[in-house]
Amino acid sequence: MKKIAIKVDASLFPDALRAYLNGARCHDSSCSEAVRTIFIDGPVRAYLKINKQGSLVREMKMIRFMHHHGLAPGVLEYVSENGLDYLLTVALAGEDGIWEGHLSSPGRLAGAMGEYLRLIHNLPVAGCPYTGRSIEMYTQSRHNINRGYADRQIIPEDLALAAKKLDSLRGLAQDNVVIHGDYCLPNIIMRDFELSGFVDLGTGGVGDRHYDLFWGIWTLRYNLKTDTYRDTFLDAYGRMDIDNDRMELCRLLAGFTE
């Protein structure tokens, strides 16, 4: 993940965060315009996410749930004030899945992705703070269909036909596992393929496993520029739980949500 050195005035941040920022080296590590991410390299190495007020509470709760099971960083602080949310988490040791050292061994990377996704899906759903993700995604999809939105990289076909197919498949969803919700290579942190944990969990919850499986296939294709390692990923995950119709449903849900 990128890191651009920046100067940060700790006095401009909430009181609870200043001790982490004072005297620390800071880097901009943002991956989108909507969410600002600062890497704090001080006595405590951490990542600070900043977004509009109320927008990071879901991620905070999912991180705490996953951290309890040893699969996510610890939450150091969550502050919501003056129109902004601040989420400070421990920086996991290692590099993300798009680090050159990981991408240079694509077969090993795809296998690790399958094995580590199974760890998430094997978690107990009891205690997960968000449930019914497929219903939520379908509701969001119908809203976006009505306003003419779709991700054309995921849904290149006629949108009316895709919407009709979504409606016909929606009843197949099985929300019976904890899902990451954005299972892409940048959100998997490893040390030479040994898992440190998962990040960016704001769209996770109890959902259909095929949603994560779809994104796993998609991120390998996008980052490796080939579908060669699709089967390696699915074999490592386990073919016995894969259903093609539910995979298609989840492709449509992914394409019609933002």
CATH number at residue 81: 3.30.200.20
Residue ranges with strand state E in the chain: 4-6, 25-28, 36-41, 45-52, 75-81, 84-90, 95-96, 177-179, 188-191, 194-198, 205-207
pLDDT in tens, 247-258: 999 999 999 998
Greater pLDDT, 31 or 214: 214
Q: In terms of domains, do 158 and 207 share one?
A: yes
DSSP state of 228: T
Query: Rounded CA gap, 84 and 80, in Å?
Result: 6
Mean of the per-residue pLDDT values for the chain?
A: 96
pLDDT band at 216 (very low <50, low <70, confident <90, very high): very high
User: Where is the domain boundary, 48, 66, 90?
Assistant: 90
pLDDT at 4: 86
* DSSP calls for 68-126: HTTSSPPEEEEEEETTEEEEEEEPPSSEETTSHHHHTSHHHHHHHHHHHHHHHHTS--T
Taking each continuous run of H as one helix and of E as one strand, the counts in the chain are 9, 11
Q: Give the end of a domain, one of 90, 106, 123.
A: 90
Q: Residues 102, 172: one domain?
A: yes
- The boundaries of the domain holding residue 58 are 4-90
Confidence of residue 29 (pLDDT cuts 50, 70, 90): confident
- Residue-wise pLDDT for 51-86, tens only, equals 999 999 999 999 999 999 999 999 999 999 999 999
Per-residue pLDDT, averaged over 30-44, amounts to 88
Closest alpha carbon to 111 in 196, 236, 238: 236
Write out the catalytic residue numbers. 182
Q: Does residue 104 sit in the same domain as residue 199?
A: yes
Taking the C-alpha atoms of residue 57 and residue 73, their distance in angstroms, rounded to an integer, is 15
Q: What is the pLDDT of residue 31?
A: 78
Boundary of a domain, candidates 27, 59, 90: 90
Helix axes 230-237, 209-224, angle to 10 degrees: 150
Regarding whether 81 and 105 lie in a shared domain, the answer is: no
Structural domains of the chain, count: 2
* Whether residue 31 is found in the same domain as residue 70: yes
Report the range of poorest mean pLDDT among 1-5, 152-156, 183-187, 192-196. 1-5
| pLDDT at position 1 over 70 | no
User: Are residues 113 and 169 both part of a single domain?
Assistant: yes
Compute φ and ψ for 87, nearest 5 degrees. Answer: -125, 115
Q: Could you give the percent of the chain with pLDDT greater than 90?
A: 93
